[in-house]
């Protein structure tokens, strides 16, 4: 069973379109994240939710809107896609509390490669 | 502020040791991590070290932490072709679910 799964794996779309990426984790974790990895492999955090509440919101255009219907899901909706949005988007999750939670060990999905034409 | 720096590329021969270096700026970092990313995959935790430790060994992996110089290294003994990947250094200033800052990643190429 895949621990953190993202769909779709590949997404090719035209500039100006709206698209969503879904993420689900079956690890029972409380915290979920979205990261963007650009073509140079630089990994930057975008958002983080803990128990459906937004806790990290980096400087991301408001065209990006995360939604967490429950603590096992964190979806990312992107409006009016631009060429610069082309990247690999990673979802991750981590437990909270003590033990592994205190260490903030993150479990990553396989990524969604978004190409905006 | 947080900043994590790594060299971009390392090439070693199979069987040799690899040493990947990282420097960070936040002296309050609680946990420091090494993640591995294979082609087409997400990041996977390799190992981590708590800030009150100097060294941690786990099979072929040895992590060294120099808090004074804010320097972290990962040594892979007897490097194999399967170790070819991108290795990310990361820091977590306060522990818990706060922001983890990743370095840019070091691409390790293992030559057979």
* Ordered per-residue pLDDT tens for chain B, 112 residues: 458 999 899 999 999 999 999 999 877 778 899 999 999 899 999 999 988 899 999 999 999 999 999 999 999 999 999 999 999 999 987 766 678 889 999 999 999 9
pLDDT at residue A64 tops 80: yes
Between the two ends of chain A, the Cα-to-Cα distance in Å is 34
- The pLDDT score that the predictor gives to residue B95 is 61
Q: Which residues are bridge partners to A78 per DSSP?
A: A19, A64
Nearest CA in chain A to B43: A108
| Candidates B42, B92, B99; nearest CB to A110 | B42
The distance from CA B50 to its chain's CA centroid, rounded to whole angstroms, is 13
Residue A87: helix, strand or coil by DSSP?
strand
Nearest CA in chain A to B6: A42
* Distance (Å) from the alpha carbon of A27 to chain B's nearest alpha carbon: 15
- The pLDDT score that the predictor gives to residue B72 is 95
How far apart CA B74 and CA B34 sit, in angstroms, is 8
Over residues A36-47, the mean pLDDT reads 90
| Candidates A50, A56, A108; nearest CB to B44 | A108
Report yes or no: A54 and A72 within 8 Å, Cβ to Cβ.
no
Residue the block writes with tokens 């060299």:
B7
- Asked which of A5-9, A56-60, A72-76, A113-117 is least confident by mean pLDDT, the reply is A56-60
């Amino acid at each position: 069973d895949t621990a953190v799964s993202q769909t779709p794996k590949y997404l090719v779309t035209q500039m100006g379109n709206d698209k969503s990426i879904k993420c689900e984790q079956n690890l029972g974790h409380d915290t979920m994240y979205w990261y963007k990895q650009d073509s140079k492999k630089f990994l930057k955090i975008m958002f983080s939710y803990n128990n459906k509440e937004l806790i990290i919101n980096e400087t991301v255009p408001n065209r990006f809107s995360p939604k967490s219907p429950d603590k096992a899901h964190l979806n990312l909706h992107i409006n009016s896609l631009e060429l610069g949005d082309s990247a690999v988007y990673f979802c991750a999750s981590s437990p909270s509390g003590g033990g592994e939670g205190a260490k903030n060990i993150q479990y990553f999905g396989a990524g969604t490669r978004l190409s905006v034409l | 502020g947080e900043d994590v720096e790594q060299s971009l590329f390392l090439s070693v021969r199979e069987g040799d040791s690899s040493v990947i270096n990282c420097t960070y700026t936040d002296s309050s970092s609680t946990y420091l991590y090494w993640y591995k990313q294979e082609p087409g995959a997400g990041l996977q935790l390799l190992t981590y070290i708590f800030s009150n430790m100097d060294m941690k060994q786990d099979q072929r992996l040895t992590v060294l932490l120099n808090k004074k110089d804010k320097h972290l290294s990962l040594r892979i003994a007897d490097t194999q072709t399967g170790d070819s990947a991108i290795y990310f250094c990361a820091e977590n200033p306060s522990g818990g679910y706060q922001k983890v800052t990743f370095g840019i990643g070091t691409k390790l190429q293992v030559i057979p």
